[in-house]
Structure 1
């Protein structure tokens, strides 16, 4: 399946005891697909991948893949700090049914660019599944330089990159690679969504589409039709949600909003805590702005 359009960076539902809620994950995936999103990106930053065990990532992938039932591609986060660990997890996620895997850069340690090249190349050559590189240096402390991405674009199975760096010049450099090679760019900064589509990004992995999928799907459809004025209107509509999400560590506000909307997301895993009463009130005001009904 082609990876393009609005791809939801899906949150991972947990029960009150912080255990994995697979039934709610299936329902959430189905709800998002029915709202029109073009793909699901699971076990990423907003999916609290850093707080999931390998076994939980496998079970989550199986559940979401079952719910998607071939309607949209399911991209699962496989990136770990070590090359060997990432290969082992990638094999398990392929067996679990993922359509593609995302490889975030190693975090805490900071490998150099040749280290990164060898890391990603070795993984891609070890597991026969499409891989997307994942650049998010603000969280990992490690950037995939465009020259490194250009070299990796020649590696079989590396089909593109998700860029959440927020530096549009870097994303433009990735997009230039995509114009010359079989390599796609997925924007990962919601604020840059329309700008990225205009520049040539194939899709946008959007956290905000957990809550307002229709607005972002319409933005993409407007872009395809060439109605850039209305697409910009849709892009501007995203800002109240974007501002609300910054009130807490991700994905606390997102989960609070979804729970209030009747889409069970459950709690965050500690040390991240759910919103305070003050932030909950702000969340209500944000949902009111979108005319989204909710329960207190």
Structure 2
């Protein structure tokens, strides 16, 4: 697998009116996203609601997305579960349906030690022949992947990179400093830090805002690569109105509400997350969408 870089969309999981996965809506969302110069689709992450989907649902959704994308871009599948045994079992199942890489989030609830985390990832990487992408999400898992831990894991031939959603640039700098940049990718998982991570030597981002601001997020990366930092900063700043609204609801309720209002029907989030469809919120969403249309972002 070639080294990971560029903008990868952390895609939401479309639902029907009964909170079941909608494959019709998934096709339409994928068609929209694939019309832009993205480098990949990342499914079953935080914004993909993996934590409220059954393993069976995740398997069939992954199979559908992989077949529909049909190698146009890379597909990254969230396969991390809390136990090493279950993660290995599920990862083996997903590896058979053509995923380009598996995203494995650190175990949650009872935060393991760094040595336990190393053992967890090494056992998984030893058990599957699909590349592994570490997913660092300390705000949800209760554990941060220390740079020294990631350095050790980066030496495993089947562990190819990390998505860092810690939001801590010093953390990300540690990964970049200690890991081999020729073989190991460091990606921002915090949309507010895409340009920052690129500037300190990172490789790109797995971005939830790219569900809506797809071309804008791609242009952060392209402008940076072309040496136009001023333009890249403008595109980075464009994300802020969306990010402010996203923080007003439980993940991914606001993102789904915004996509629905834009005309990309992705349905509601699965309970217990409840979408705020009050008049005042819908007005804020409409105003934001109109602003983005006015400045030519969407």
Whether the TM-score (by the shorter chain) exceeds 0.5 is yes
Q: Which residue of 2 aligns with 1:289?
A: 291
Q: Which residue of 1 aligns with 2:62?
A: 61
Alignment of 1:74-223 (within 5 A): 74-179=75-180, 182-223=183-224
CA offsets per residue over residues 213-255 of structure 1, 9 Å max, x none?
0111111111111011011011111100010111101111111
Q: Which residue of 1 aligns with 2:43?
A: 42
SS in 2 for 1:11: coil
SS in 2 for 1:34: coil
CA offsets per residue over residues 43-84 of structure 1, 9 Å max, x none?
000000100111111111111112211111000001110000
What is the aligned-residue RMSD (CA, Å)?
1.2
Match 2:281 to one of 274, 279, 283? 279
SS in 1 for 2:80: coil
Q: Contact between 2:107 and 2:141, CA under 8 Å: does it hold in 1? A: yes
Distance (Å, rounded) in 1 between the aligned partners of 2:179 and 2:25: 36
Q: Contact between 1:161 and 1:186, CA under 8 Å: does it hold in 2? A: yes
Q: Which residue of 1 aligns with 2:19?
A: 18
Distance (Å, rounded) in 1 between the aligned partners of 2:78 and 2:167: 20
Judge which range, 171-180 or 230-239, deviates more.
Answer: 171-180
Q: Contact between 1:26 and 1:63, CA under 8 Å: does it hold in 2? A: no
Distance (Å, rounded) in 2 between the aligned partners of 1:142 and 1:202: 23
Deviation of 1:179 (Å): 4.0
Deviation of 1:187 (Å): 0.6
Distance (Å, rounded) in 2 between the aligned partners of 1:224 and 1:260: 33
Distance (Å, rounded) in 2 between the aligned partners of 1:88 and 1:108: 20
CA distance 1:178–1:147, shift in 2 (3 Å): closer
Distance (Å, rounded) in 2 between the aligned partners of 1:16 and 1:169: 43
The alignment status of 1:232 with 2:227, answered yes or no, reads: no
Unaligned runs of 5+ in 2: none
CA offsets per residue over residues 1-35 of structure 1, 9 Å max, x none?
54211111000001111111122212212210112
Judge which range, 17-26 or 204-213, deviates more.
Answer: 17-26
Unaligned runs of 5+ in 1: none
CA offsets per residue over residues 152-194 of structure 1, 9 Å max, x none?
1111210111100011000011111334562111110111100
Q: Contact between 2:187 and 2:206, CA under 8 Å: does it hold in 1? A: yes
Distance (Å, rounded) in 2 between the aligned partners of 1:48 and 1:96: 20
TM-score normalised over the length of structure 1: 0.96
Distance (Å, rounded) in 1 between the aligned partners of 2:31 and 2:174: 35
Aligned residues: 292
